């Protein structure tokens, strides 16, 4: 197990956990900042975690829940306070209600994660600071120390799995809950480059073209909150056309963009009868490029199944491959 020391300091109101690893700091850092990886070890084995949101920038937010053996869920959140890329980050950590809002009836705390290089690889020192001695004792009594040991005992297996998270694997799909899907891909480019490619109409026209033989005659896009969005594709052979319309709900350039989306067509120009989705794009720097995590919330499970059955993920991979080859080329 990677945990080499756990120290409680009642006077300083802290719990300090030291863990050592035989991998470079970059590999360990990516495991904590990639939602696909951290959810494989953040919860104890009998309470695996699912991350719905995982920002890696000051002012950002992470929302997750842990699912118990009986299907029960425990929700939590991180509010990102500070990030020193590749070296440390600090979050406000707390319990949450099932809608993601903080549960103020339970204690919250501050956590600082410090990553350093060692002769054998890397070390992570996690320092949790509590508000009062009573809260420290309360959380210890709830099994916090045992949970930390069990959770961190899973990290080595994640770190050894280089292939599952490497650049070049293509676009991957993960179903979350009853009506959400997360699409992930490492794109060979910087965060700023990938952000521009997703928000600049001139760049979108170069790579988000759909299948061969289709063009994008309409592309109205941007990243200002409240801005209407519209994209339309047309078959160069038949002239058939379809598209999507929506609005920017939230933007934190160059890391996070949240939009609504509904299908539109010449017969239904406003998309009034189309199911609307909420699309949350988050970008994070990782080894090999930028991790794009795209969480889509559908109205219900049936709509999710119907949309995914159209080959959406394959189409997204075609676009991302084109993005790397034609827009982000050196």
The encoded tokens of residue 325 equal 């080859």
Calculate the average pLDDT of the chain. Answer: 91
pLDDT at site 130: 94
pLDDT score for 239 = 85
Mean pLDDT of 152-157: 89
Point out the least confidently predicted range of 103-117, 231-245, 265-279, 283-297. Answer: 265-279
DSSP letter, residue 276: P
d(CA 316, CA 211): 10
The answer to whether domain 3-165 and domain 172-327 are alike in fold is yes
| Burial of 15 from C-beta contacts in 10 A (0-12 / 13-18 / 19+) | buried
Two tokens at 267?
């017969």
Q: Is the pLDDT of residue 61 over 70?
A: yes
Structure tokens at 270: 């406003």
pLDDT in tens, 72-110: 999 999 999 999 999 999 999 999 998 889 999 988 999
Q: Up-side HSE of residue 264: CA atoms within 13 Å toward CB?
A: 17
User: How confident is the model over 209-218, as pLDDT tens digits?
Assistant: 877 888 899 9
pLDDT at 201: 95
At 28, is the secondary structure helix, strand, or coil? helix
Determine the pLDDT at residue 192: 96
Examine the pLDDT at 1 and tell me if it is beyond 60: no
Tokens in use for 138? 């309360």
The predicted structure's pLDDT at residue 272:
55
Question: Phi then psi for 106, rounded to 5 degrees?
Answer: -115, 155
| CATH H superfamily, domain 3-165 | START domain (3.30.530.20)
pLDDT of 139 above 90: no
C-alpha distance from residue 83 to each of 3, 31, 117, 135 (Å): 23, 15, 18, 26
Please state the pTM of the whole predicted model: 0.90
Tokens of 279: 């699309």
Per cent of the chain over pLDDT 90 is 72
User: What is the predicted pLDDT for the residue at 269?
Assistant: 57
pLDDT at 330: 53
CATH top class, domain 172-327 = alpha beta
- Tell me the C-alpha distance between 5 and 132, whole Å: 23
Cβ-Cβ contacts under 8 Å for 18 (sequence gap 6 or more): 3, 4, 5, 6, 123, 124, 125
Region 230-252: what's the mean pLDDT? Answer: 92
Closest CA to 82 of 55, 109, 49: 55
CA angle, corner 293, sides to 78 and 19, nearest 5?
Answer: 50
State residue 270's pLDDT score.
Answer: 60
Q: What is the mean pLDDT of residues 23-46?
A: 93
Q: Give the per-residue pLDDT at 143.
A: 82
75-101 burial, b at 16+ Cβ within 10 Å, e below that, comes to bbbbbbeebeeeebbbbebbebeeeee
Domain boundaries, the chain: 3-165, 172-327
- Tell the burial category of 189 from Cβ atoms under 10 Å away from its Cβ (0-12, 13-18, 19+): buried
């Amino acid at each position: 197990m990677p945990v080499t020391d756990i120290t409680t300091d009642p006077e300083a109101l802290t719990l300090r956990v030291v863990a050592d690893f035989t991998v470079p700091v970059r590999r360990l850092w990516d495991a904590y900042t990639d939602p696909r990886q951290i959810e494989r070890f953040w919860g104890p084995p009998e309470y695996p975690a699912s991350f719905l949101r995982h920002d890696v920038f000051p002012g950002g937010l992470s929302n997750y829940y842990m699912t118990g053996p009986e299907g029960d869920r425990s929700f939590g959140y991180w509010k990102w306070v500070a990030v020193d890329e590749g070296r440390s980050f600090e979050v406000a950590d707390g319990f949450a209600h099932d809608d993601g809002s903080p549960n103020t009836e339970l204690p919250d705390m501050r956590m600082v994660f410090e990553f350093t290089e060692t002769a054998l690889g890397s070390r992570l020192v996690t320092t949790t600071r509590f508000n009062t001695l009573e809260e420290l004792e309360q959380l210890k009594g709830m099994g916090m120390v045992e949970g930390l040991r069990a959770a961190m005992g899973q990290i080595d297996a994640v770190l050894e799995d280089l292939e599952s998270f490497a650049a070049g694997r293509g676009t991957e799909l993960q179903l979350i809950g009853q009506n959400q899907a997360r699409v992930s891909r490492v794109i060979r480019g910087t965060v700023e480059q990938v952000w521009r490619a997703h928000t600049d109409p001139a760049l979108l026209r170069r790579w988000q073209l759909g299948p061969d033989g289709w063009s994008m005659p309409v592309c109205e896009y941007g990243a200002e909150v409240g801005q209407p969005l519209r994209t339309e594709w047309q078959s160069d052979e038949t002239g058939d056309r379809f598209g999507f319309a929506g609005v920017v709900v939230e933007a934190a350039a160059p890391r996070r963009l949240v939009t609504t989306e509904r299908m539109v067509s010449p017969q239904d120009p406003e998309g009034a009868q189309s199911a609307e989705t909420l699309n949350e794009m988050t970008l994070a720097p990782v080894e090999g490029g930028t991790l794009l995590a795209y969480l889509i919330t559908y109205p219900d499970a049936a709509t999710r199944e119907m949309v995914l059955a159209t080959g959406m993920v394959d189409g997204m991979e075609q676009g991302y491959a084109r993005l790397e080859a034609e827009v982000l080329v050196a």
